[in-house]
């Protein structure tokens, strides 16, 4: 009751000190715009950083491209040309003698002489060896003596036959006696024919004492020396003769190409065949396809062919392995470049074409290959310069220092 003013003032301060706080929901709603501003700032900063990185990478790539394009790469180029490309089939072949003869004796006897030199060329009918003929000379004399005896008996029988005919006509003898005498004459006549055959056989045996070359060709090493006994039943002959001119080559091709080959043969086309050495670089001989085997090998799916070669220079030898090319047809007026210019990558086959001192990638479609050249069906024109050396250092558009290769005229497949 005593100091009312003081009490009232105290109540007022107490009331101000204990005012209640705002509700929690109202406080969070008042801060949402701060979070929104922070998120917008982060997104803007990230976008600016991305733009910076992209610009940096673009600048680095451009600098590298400029560095690459400004670098000179030394390459060797050739000019594409127009020519003819033959369609050929290739295979591995074996040279086979056109004829091979194992010279053997046809009679038994002692070999008295060998009249050839090992490795020489012999002609048909040349004397190769001789066998002791005395045994067969005696057989010939015996056959001649038998013939003379039988001829005398025949003469006597014929005289008796004539007498018996007269007696029979006079009815002195019976018909049976006449017939018996006639049969005896026929018997002697047959014996004489047998004697003549024996003489011919003895003369033939005597002829076989001289062994002659049955064919012309090159004779091999001597298998029997003079003084040895030889027999017709011997498995080993005196020597082997092989005919080298002409000579043949057996080779195989895939069965897929057989119909085309047969079609050409039925039309009487002369298909040229070329024989190359084991490495396939040097041409040894040129021949003609002779025939095709009558069946396909089921284990390999190939057909065997035979070609004939004149072999005038004896470049081919029996049992020699050669690479064979059979020419079926010729494609005219196609673009030809060296096979070394062909590159392969994810885009397929391509070449580097040099134009205005820069190398450019050009996709091409390949055709037939002949030797070291290849035909281009699509993608290249005549007279363009293609890279044949140094392509591993190139990229599309790079500057190059090109050197023209000096190629000799008359490349395979060209018209020159």
* Contact predicate 77/401, CB 8 Å: no
Residue 85 pLDDT grade (very low, low, confident, very high; cuts 50, 70, 90): confident
Q: Could you identify the residue written with the tokens 């070669």? A: 309
- Strand order across the 127-131 sheet: 210-212, 127-131, 109-114, 229-230
> Is the pLDDT score of 61 beyond 80?
no
Determine the Cα–Cα distance for residues 343 and 211; give it in Å rounded to an integer: 65
Of 349, 304, 345, 365, nearest in space to 91 by CA: 304
Q: Is 353 helix (H, G, I), strand (E, B) or coil?
A: strand
> What is the model's pLDDT at position 69?
54
Compute φ and ψ for 179, nearest 5 degrees: -65, -40
Residue 71 pLDDT grade (very low, low, confident, very high; cuts 50, 70, 90): low
> What is the model's pLDDT at position 10?
45
Indicate the range of 21-25, 124-128, 290-294 predicted with least confidence.
21-25
Per residue in 220-263, pLDDT (tens digit) is 999 999 999 999 999 999 999 999 999 999 999 989 889 989 99
* Contact predicate 164/181, CB 8 Å: yes
| CATH fold for domain 102-132+210-242 | OB fold (Dihydrolipoamide Acetyltransferase, E2P) (2.40.50)
Q: Could you identify the residue written with the tokens 């086309």? A: 269
> Is the pLDDT score of 18 beyond 50?
no
Summarize the confidence of residues 305-325 as an average pLDDT: 93
Of 12-26, 49-63, 277-291, give the range with the top mean pLDDT: 277-291
| More confident position, 369 or 68 | 369
> What is the model's pLDDT at position 79?
92
> What is the model's pLDDT at position 372?
83
**Domain residue extents for the chain:** 70-85+332-404, 89-98+243-331, 102-132+210-242, 133-208
| CATH fold for domain 70-85+332-404 | 2.40.420
| CATH fold for domain 133-208 | Helix Hairpins (1.10.287)
CATH class entry, domain 89-98+243-331: mainly beta
Summarize the confidence of residues 3-18 as an average pLDDT: 44
Domains 70-85+332-404 and 102-132+210-242 share a fold: no
> What is the model's pLDDT at position 26?
55
């Amino acid at each position: 009751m005593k100091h009312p003013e003081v009490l009232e003032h105290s109540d007022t301060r107490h009331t101000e000190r204990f005012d209640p706080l705002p509700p929690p929901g109202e406080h969070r709603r008042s801060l949402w715009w701060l979070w929104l501003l922070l998120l917008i700032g982060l997104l803007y900063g990230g976008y600016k950083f991305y733009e910076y990185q992209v610009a940096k990478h673009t600048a680095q790539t451009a600098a590298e491209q400029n560095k690459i394009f400004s670098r000179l790469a030394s390459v060797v180029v050739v000019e594409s040309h127009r020519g003819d490309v033959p369609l050929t089939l290739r295979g591995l072949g074996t040279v086979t003698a056109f004829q091979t003869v194992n010279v053997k004796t046809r009679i038994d006897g002692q070999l008295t002489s060998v009249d050839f030199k090992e490795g020489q060329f012999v002609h048909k009918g040349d004397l190769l060896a001789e066998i002791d003929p005395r045994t067969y000379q005696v057989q010939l004399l015996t056959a001649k003596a038998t013939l003379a005896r039988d001829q005398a008996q025949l003469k006597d029988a014929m005289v008796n036959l004539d007498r018996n005919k007269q007696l029979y006509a006079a009815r002195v003898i019976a018909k049976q006696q006449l017939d018996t005498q006639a049969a005896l004459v026929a018997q002697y006549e047959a014996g004489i024919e047998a004697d003549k055959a024996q003489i011919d056989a003895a003369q033939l045996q005597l002829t076989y004492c001289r062994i002659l070359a049955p064919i012309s060709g090159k004779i091999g090493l001597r298998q029997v020396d003079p003084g040895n006994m030889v027999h017709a039943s011997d498995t080993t002959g005196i020597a082997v003769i092989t005919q080298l001119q002409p000579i043949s080559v057996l080779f195989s091709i895939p069965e897929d190409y057989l119909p085309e080959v047969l079609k050409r043969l039925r039309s009487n086309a002369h298909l040229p065949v070329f024989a190359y050495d084991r490495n396939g670089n040097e041409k040894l001989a040129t021949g003609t396809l002779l025939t095709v085997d009558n069946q396909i090998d089921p284990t390999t799916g190939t057909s065997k062919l035979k070609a004939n070669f004149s072999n005038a220079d004896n470049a081919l030898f029996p049992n020699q392995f050669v690479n064979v090319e059979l020419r079926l047809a010729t494609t005219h007026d196609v673009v030809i470049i060296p096979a070394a210019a062909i590159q392969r990558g994810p885009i397929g086959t391509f070449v580097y074409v040099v134009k205005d001192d820069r190398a450019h990638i050009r996709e091409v479609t390949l055709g037939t290959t002949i030797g070291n050249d290849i035909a281009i069906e699509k993608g290249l024109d005549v007279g363009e310069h293609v890279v044949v050396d140094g392509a591993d250092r190139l990229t599309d558009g790079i500057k190059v220092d090109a050197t023209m290769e000096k190629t000799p005229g008359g490349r395979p497949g060209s018209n020159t």
